[in-house]
Structure 1
Amino acid sequence: MNTTVDLHQLVQCMGDAIIVADAHEKIILWNPAATRIFGYSAAEALGQTLDLIVPERQRHQHNAGYSNSMKTGTTRYGASLLKVPALHKDGSTLSIAFTVGMLFDDHHQANGVVAVIRDETERFAQERALKKRIADLENPQA
């Protein structure tokens, strides 16, 4: 049995988006799931910055954190599951959950990040509706 993993095939077949950005936030890898979730083809996304999917109101904080991660070689998120808003090509807002990992060159200098992203928009809306329903049941209007 051949246990060699074809990494290209692995990235292409994943149901979650896999996005890799370089030290300057330029997108250098965008898999088919990223296209499905965000609406941009790989040709449209590659070479663009992550501002493509980061909502305007979060960009300053995102860019500052990204820059700091590139300088320090660390991320304050570690293996935590992050839940944030994101932008779709059509302008709509998505709710995404993702993990992020730091990438390093041969000299152990940070040179990018990889993010594995799942669209949680529908689940988040269902959760919000359920919380509202519970609140309405616990506090009935007389």
Structure 2
Amino acid sequence: MKTNVDLNQLIDCIGDAVIVADAHEKIVLWNAAASKIFGYSEEEALGNTLDLIVPERQRQRHNEGYSKSMETGVTRYGTSLLKVPAKHKDGHTLSIAFTVGMLFDANNQAYGVAAVIRDETQGFAEERALKKRLSDLES
């Protein structure tokens, strides 16, 4: 059964951020949830690099991993949920969880990535508070 799904509408109606970046980390797709999570409008994000949301202290590691994925066409995060810090437009730190998929051209060369991202900041803070409380009770 074939359906007529409007992919743009689908991408904009889901609650998780969908971000697509090209081989040079330039953002080429930024949905409404990405704006809500990170604070940047689509206009502000498009054409910028992922440095927009990657904290300074994570950038070197991120850039090395991204470059390696573009060279090899492989990412270890395609099926694994990655949890890392991210940066909001106003400067505060977020805790995000995401999966990433490699995008390939007709010659099977990697030309970008698509990431589906969820804001886990509140859950992470609650978990940290519970661990502290448990630790305090055990002391």
Q: Which band: TM-score by shorter chain? A: over 0.9
Q: Quote how far apart the aligned CAs of 1:3 are.
A: 2.1
Cα deviation, residue 2, structure 1: 7.2
Q: Percent identity?
A: 76
Match of 2:42 in 1: 42
Shift of 1:76: 2.0
- With normalisation by structure 2, the TM-score equals 0.97
Measure the CA separation in 2 of the matches of 1:77 and 1:10.
23
Q: Secondary structure at the match of 2:10?
A: helix
For structure 2, the 5+ residue unaligned runs are none
Q: Give the structure-1-normalised TM-score.
A: 0.95
Distance (whole Å) between structure 1 residues aligned to residue 83 and residue 2 of structure 2: 37
- Cα distance in 2 between the residues matched to 1:3 and 1:53: 35
Larger Rg: 1
- How far apart, CA to CA, are the structure 2 residues paired with 1:71 and 1:4? 35
Q: In the aligned structure 2, how far is the partner of 1:2 from the partner of 1:76?
A: 32
Q: Report deviation, 1:77.
A: 2.0
Q: What is the CA RMSD across the aligned residues, in angstroms?
A: 1.1
Aligned to 2:108: 108
* 1:129 equivalent in alignment to 2:108: no
Paired residues, what number?
139
Unaligned runs of 5+ in 1: none
Cα distance in structure 2, aligned partners of 1:128 and 1:47: 36
